[in-house]
Structure 1
């Protein structure tokens, strides 16, 4: 295999360990316990009319080729391919199942786009609510600048990393109130109720995850009738979902890499609303419905979601929906939260 290895290291002191970790044959991939040769990429670019003909040759029905060509000009063949891939009978030859139509794939794409926007709407409101609870509980229990206190963290190194990221977000902010507070007061960062307004959901999730005082963690979670470990898990998951939506990635049939915890007992009745398909978007929707019931009891988000599914005639099994989903209480009415926070 001499001459087949590609390796360079500007840091010679780490070359030995780097060689063990990264040295591999150039043009090869590891599979089945041995290296296999990769082949050069040989596909040529195709024109939009050619793309339509290719779909037809592979068995897809195209009702209006001119309209299909227009949509391919806007949406990218490769992007739409993620939606028609499940309808292929033969992936090697890219042969479509009988009855697969371009219009059906486009309908699925439009549904997924509208679903992303709907999820972003709910996640925005939930994010603002959790920011508020995080800032309120920290300020009242630990002081106006509790975020500057490393003793409140499980791990000081993670606290420092989170603080550095928060400082970067404050520095990049063009909010007038942030500039005013930085120019007026001597502390390194503004008070916790101000800095929370420029925190990303991902950073908020990591800060809650590293928050040490159990009483404060529980107080924040109790605002939503949840165990603190469940809220921690949900925030991590929703941060991933939010980023998926913001980057215009597919939700329909996606398997999420970070799965949300299912509550074991409280709130009463909620655990039974979840699906066994923990990596699918269905469980995300249950979380959003529950939290929306908590923070906006008069919301119409549930009906908007059901209308979206019905209007597009979507087969929801690929999203992890159980067969009896329409009979589950979470889809019919708000689940009442405990008034005591316990």
Structure 2
């Protein structure tokens, strides 16, 4: 590996760490056991750090989009449950198809409410004795994205799940696994984990319509971890539903065009991706 500036390289290794940075030069290594040089010809430390910086900016852009999607799901979930069952109807065990999982979710949520430092939760605790749990619109605001996706997925009424999914423009059969998938991506972003060439074991379901969405997606490999491309396509689609004025797609494509090696295959991008409907 070429190291044009050794002092700069030492600074990176000190403040980022050898182990963390090594994940970004791994694609430039020959396969293990290969005789000769460790790195492919032309590999530079500057390219590695540029790739690291690209990944950092990618996480911030993706996290920004998932935040808007998460807020929209929180609102739809709380609205439908409050309208149909009242402020505390979400606590009715009969709404959920698996009593054991419902109890697990409730125990976790009860503990989070008890330990919450949020002002509005503290106000509720000091003002009301019964019911002990706050109304649905309050707990929706304090739930993690993963917790929200579990409460939503556990609803036994498919029509209710579809009503919650409707403002996002997808059927519940697609939205349920997608939210779990996006929650994993969101956690990777929030905890500063590598994103650009990561494979995700928790897969999403590819929708069959609308046509523009289907024709932008890439058929997933049958038995391989999910790559980032399809998730980015679904994020573009969802943002169109919840924020039609969003310019997030353009922000993302600007960043993609700044990829240090211009090779997006590690994220699952197909050849000619930018000519597909949702990218145009």
TM-score normalised to structure 2 length: 0.93
Q: CA deviation at 1:102?
A: 0.4
| Cα offset, 1:311, TM superposition | 2.5
Match of 1:318 in 2: 266
State the superposition RMSD in angstroms: 1.3
Residue of structure 2 equivalent to 1:285: 232
1:291-330 matches, cutoff 5 A: 291-313=238-260, 314-330=262-278
Aligned to 1:118: 61
* Bigger proportion of residues as helix: 2
Moved over 4 A (4+): none
Greater RCO structure (CA 8 Å; 6+ sep): 2
* TM alignment of 1:136-147, pairs within 5 A: 136-147=79-90
* Aligned equivalent of 1:96: 39
Q: Does 1:217 align with 2:161?
A: yes
Query: Could you tell me which residue of structure 1 aligns to residue 3 of structure 2?
Result: 62
Question: 1:41 — aligned with what?
Answer: none
Structure 1 unpaired stretches of 5+: 1-59, 333-342
C-alpha displacement of 1:269: 2.2
Paired residue for 2:146, among 194, 198, 202?
Answer: 202
CA distance in 1, matches of 2:31, 2:87: 61
Aligned match of 1:156 = 99
1:92 to partner: Cα distance: 3.3
Matched length: 272
Query: SS where residue 89 of structure 1 aligns?
Result: coil
The answer on whether the counterparts of 2:212 and 2:278 sit within 8 Å (CA) in structure 1 is no
Give per-residue Cα distances to partners, 1:90-111, cap 9 Å, x unaligned. Answer: 4236700001110001111000
Q: In the alignment, which residue of structure 2 is the partner of 1:71? A: 12
**1:112 touches 1:252 (CA, 8 Å); kept in 2?**
yes
SS of the aligned residue for 1:96 comes to: coil
For residues 244-268 of structure 1, give each alpha carbon's deviation from its aligned partner in whole angstroms, at most 9, with x where no partner exists: 111111111111111111002x223
Residue 325 of structure 1 contacts residue 331 of structure 1 at CA under 8 Å; is this kept in 2?
A: yes
Q: CA deviation at 1:277?
A: 4.2
Alignment partners' CA distance in 2, 1:311 and 1:86: 18
The 5 A counterparts of 1:129-140 are: 129-140=72-83
Decide which moves more: 153-162 or 302-311: 302-311
Larger CA Rg, structure 1 vs 2: 1
Any idea what the Cα deviations from partners look like across 1:37-65, whole Å, max 9, x if unmatched?
A: xxxxxxxxxxxxxxxxxxxxxxx011111
Q: For 1:309 and 1:211, locate their aligned partners in 2 and report how far apart those are by CA, in whole Å.
A: 38
Q: Which runs of 5+ in 2 are unaligned?
A: none
Q: What's the counterpart of residue 236 of structure 1?
A: 180
Contact 2:145 2:183 in 1 (8 A): yes
TM-score normalised by length of structure 1: 0.77
Contact 2:28 2:40 in 1 (8 A): yes
Q: Is contact 2:216–2:276 with CA below 8 Å preserved after alignment?
A: yes
1:258 aligns with 2:202: yes
Q: Which residue of the partner structure matches residue 107 of structure 1?
A: 50
After superposition, the Cα gap between the structure-2 partners of 1:108 and 1:322, relative to the gap in structure 1 and judged at 3 Å, is same
